[in-house]
Amino acid sequence: MLDALSNSSYTGTMAERKLPDDPVTFIRECLRAGQILWTYHVNMRLGQRSIARETIIAAAESYEMVEAYPEDKYFPSYLLLGRYGEEVFHALFGADVDGQNVRVVTAYYPAPEEWEEDLKTRRRTQ
């Protein structure tokens, strides 16, 4: 696996932004190939939220698009719904097309009060 601290493109200035043709497929392929960077934020949160790195990787084939953020700060990012065993969670991935890797930004269990039953649609605030 890659180390975010040793990858200069992680903190460098953004050149032309490249979007993956099919973000879910790109993320799956990077996960299968071990082309994964774990951000400081996700490393802190996974332990607090009892989500294992292995779960995020093993859920690769289950991922479904929830939201896309093509203009996110460092890389285009994608919020995906994942399932592994009894666990259902959201994971946010940054896609580095040039570097052929993904950044796992955060992962969490979606709160029922914030998400519809499909866990892919945000509830409207009133």
DSSP 20: -
What tokens does 103 get? Answer: 């950044």
In a domain, 66, yes or no: yes
In a domain, 51, yes or no: yes
On whether the CB atoms of residues 80 and 27 are closer than 8 A, the answer is: yes
In a domain, 119, yes or no: no
Please report, for the domain that includes residue 14, its CATH number. 3.30.2310.40
pTM: 0.85
What range does the domain containing 34 cover?
4-108
Which pLDDT tens digit goes with each residue over 60-99? Answer: 999 999 999 999 999 999 999 999 999 999 999 999 999 9
Q: Domain total for the chain?
A: 1
pLDDT of residue 126: 62
In a domain, 21, yes or no: yes
